[in-house]
Every structure is written in C-alpha cells, then in structure tokens.
Amino acid sequence: MKVYMNIIFWFIAIVITILSFIYQRATGPTYPARGSVELNGRDINFRLIRSYDGADDAPVMVEVPDENIKGTFRYKRYPSYDNWSVDTLLRKGDTLVAFIPHQPAAGKVKYLITLHDSDSSVKLTDEPVIIRFRDPVPTWAIVPHVMLMFLAMVFSTRAGIEAIAKGSGIRLFTYVSLITLIFGGLIFGPIMQKFAFGEYWTGWPLGTDLTDNKTAIAFIFWVIAAIAAWKNPKHRTWVILAAIVTLIIYLVPHSLLGSEIDFTQEEYIRESLNKAGNILSD
C-alpha cells in the first residue's frame, strides 16, 4: 500500500508541475500572441512573436495566400516618446512579412499590424503587440536551468504532499527542493540573464524583474523550511507553506516586469534626435 501511495504522490507532483509550467509559459509576456480575424469572409490565423534573439531585424509573418490582401504595420520603441513609424508588409509567397527594427538587448518595440483589401481592413490585435529583443543564450545554460527548475517544482510539490501526508521523507524532499532551486534559479538563472540581457540580477534591490524576485522569495521560504526540517525531521508547517508559495510563484507569468530599456531617458531621446537630423541632412 505504501508503494502505491508513493507512486500516486509522485504522479500528482509531476502533473502539477507540468500544468504549472504550461500555464506560466502560455500566459507570459514573451509567449507569441495568437488569434484569428476575418476579412471579407476569409479567416486569417496569426502568431505574432514577442521575443527575438537574432542579430537582425525581427521578422513577423502572417500567412495570407490571397494576393489581393495587403498589409501595413505601425511601430515604435517602447517606452519612448517616438512618433509611430508606418511601413508596408512585404509579400513572400503566401506570407506577408513585417520587419521590426533590431534593438539592443532588453529593448522593446510595440507594433500593430493591419490587413486590408480593396473593400475593408482589419487589425490583427486591438492593442499593439510588444516584442522584446535579447541576445542568444547558449544551450549549455538553458538546458540545466530548465531541467533544474522543473525538478525544483517537482520536489517542492512532493515535499508539500509528504508533509501533508505526514510521511518520513519530509527532510529529504525539503533539502532536494532547496538544492535544485539554488542551482536552477540562483546559479543558472543569473547566467542566462547575463547572456540574454547583460546583467546577472535585475530583481530587488537592483530592479523590478519579477522572475528574479520570485526566485528570491521561494529561496527564502525553502531556507526557513530546511532549517525547520533540520531541527525536526517531522516538521510540516514551513514545508507546506514553502510548497504552496512556490506553486503560487510558478503560476505567475514568466518574464513579467523583466529587463527593459527605458527609451524615455535623455540619452535615448538625444540619440533619436541625432538620427532624425542625419536623415534630414541626407
């Protein structure tokens, strides 16, 4: 009976972790904006990217086989005092393509795509889509980060279940939860952040990056839980609380309030004015 219950507990922990990961990614600000619009009786599905790590302009593609349908897109840096720029979508076979000007890592651009034919027009989204640029992150940093954070959530949930069931593995699961969180969130997490945006840590007290802050909060709770479990192997309260806090944290959209260049700062305004002056002089 004990073996069966152990299998069930692990199954529950893994399912909860997978569902939380799916939800977190699907609701995050870097997940593609998907949807469908209708133009003169024709359904057009779209998938607009909101994150790009290439060194060139970011291509945004919408499959529109009907060559009578054309499109325009408006864009400007975000946040900024820039005026909207307007350009025409380019047709490449069955696809209309917009190219979002490349920005430095953590730079954002908001854009709005409109499709039209000779009779009518339609916006793909009611509000502009915001895309954030980043630098490439090597696989050797991404893979262990993702795997360790997945394991941290699995063991966190398993530790909470063990504590609720008054099992004998509370201390072990608590320690493993803390260790995987340290390596996944506090070692490989900052490494990824450094590659992508040039900074190891942008959470409190250096910034407002919610991903970094979430990791810090989870770490604090698991340190307290680990200390409590070290003093008493059957301690339950802090372990259950740490597991609940971790689950709540994992349900918060990934990359929310992440690294962002503020283009309203004087240096960027001056840069825009210089570019405008060069264009006029040419």
pLDDT, one tens digit per residue, over 127-139 is 999 999 999 999 9
Phi, psi (rounded to 5 degrees) for 103: -125, 160
Q: Is residue 149 part of a domain?
A: yes
* pLDDT one-digit tens code per residue, 134-173: 999 999 999 999 999 999 999 999 999 999 999 989 999 9
Q: Does residue 274 form part of some domain?
A: no
- Residue at 269 is within a domain: no
Given a cut of 80, whether residue 271 has pLDDT beyond it is: no
Confidence at residue 195, expressed as pLDDT on a 0 to 100 scale: 94
Q: Report CA torsion sign: 123, 49, 196, 185.
A: positive
Residue 22 confidence class, pLDDT cut points 50, 70, 90: confident
In this prediction, residue 29 carries a pLDDT of 79
At 99, give phi and psi (nearest 5°). -115, 115
Q: Which residues are CB-contacts of 105 (< 8 A; sequence separation ≥ 6)? A: 133, 134, 135, 196, 197, 198, 259
Measured distance CA(128)–CA(154) in Å, rounded: 37
* pTM attached to this predicted model: 0.85
Q: How far is Cα 278 from Cα 103, in angstroms, rounded to an integer? A: 19
Cα separation of 224 and 57, whole Å?
Answer: 46
On the CB side of 26, CA atoms within 13 Å amount to 7
For residue 208, what pLDDT is reported?
A: 74
Is 281 inside any structural domain?
Answer: no
Say which residues have a Cβ less than 8 Å from residue 80's Cβ, sequence separation at least 6. 263, 264, 268, 272
With cut-offs at 50, 70 and 90, classify the pLDDT of residue 256.
low
- Position 61 scores a pLDDT of 96
Model confidence at 276, pLDDT cuts 50, 70, 90, reads very low
Q: Where is average pLDDT lowest: 194-208, 228-242, 266-280?
A: 266-280
* Structural domain includes residue 110: yes
| 109, part of any domain | yes
Over the stretch 43-96, which tens digit does the pLDDT of each residue have?
999 999 999 999 999 999 999 998 999 999 999 999 999 999 999 999 999 999
Which residue among 133, 165, 199 closes a domain?
Answer: 133
- Residue 231 falls inside a structural domain: yes
Amino acid at 263: F
120: containing domain: 33-133
At residue 254, the pLDDT reads: 66
Among 42-46, 220-224, 264-268, 270-274, the range with the most confident prediction by mean pLDDT is 220-224
Whether 262 is in a domain gets the answer: no
Greater confidence, 232 or 281?
A: 232
* Mean per-residue pLDDT over the chain, rounded: 89
- Please indicate, yes or no, whether residues 246 and 141 belong to a single structural domain of this protein: yes
pLDDT at 198 over 50: yes
| 94 and 173 share one domain | no
Contact 23, 60 (CB under 8 A): no
Count of structural domains, the chain: 2
Q: Are residues 90 and 115 in the same domain?
A: yes
